[in-house]
Structure 1
């Protein structure tokens, strides 16, 4: 068996490992980012529904209050109506893929607020 020269056997090993793991790391980063966007969309939908229900309960425009803090890229749709003594609001947002504007589904947030009556 021929003698090996020291330091020649592992040449390029780090480069090969780096090239092999970079796509996996990037895929993991994209998956985590998508989870963050979905969580943020749930938070936005719930908050917008809450704001809309509160505004509708006091006689203001539910749709305007729900859309006040949400940009058009989220594709918001609000459905508001009184139901007995409760004003209910349902806000639907599109689920973004990597950034708002490129969408693949919908998230719904619902809320209700007690109707406020004026004193006579």
Structure 2
């Protein structure tokens, strides 16, 4: 006669099921967390580009180096390119491009902002 295992109550049969369900859901949680961090990095780069554009435009309106002011205005970990755009008689326009840092495997490009300031006479 074969050995028959005694039937376990329902609760004891399901031991470990919650851990397995959590392990199955863990990749989804990681992807959502990475997307949230990446979205924060995009917003941070856009904010830094706006700050750099305003600082560069203010420096250019005072007839100083716009690129130097842009570089000093952003975090040293970010790459910034500041172009002294159109300079009119009464105002100067500067465009700043800040590279978006990524934690995902593809390039997201640059955050670009433009600022215009009146020329200080």
Alignment TM class, shorter chain as reference:
0.7 to 0.9
RMSD over aligned CA atoms reads 2.1
**Counterpart-to-counterpart distance in 2, 1:56 and 1:28:** 42
TM normalised by structure 1 equals: 0.84
Deviation at 1:11, TM superposition (A): 1.4
- From 41, 44, 47, the counterpart of 2:48: 44
In structure 1, what is the equivalent of residue 82 of structure 2? 78
Instruction: Please list every run of 5 or more consecutive structure 2 residues that lacks an aligned counterpart in the other structure.
Output: none
Aligned pairs, number: 114
Whether the aligned pair in 2 keeps the contact of 1:30 and 1:98 (CA below 8 Å) is yes
Change (3 A) 1:69 1:116: closer
**Counterpart-to-counterpart distance in 2, 1:48 and 1:40:** 12
Matches within 5 A, 1:1-120: 4-6=7-9, 7-81=11-85, 82-98=87-103, 103-117=107-121
Whether the aligned pair in 1 keeps the contact of 2:55 and 2:73 (CA below 8 Å) is no
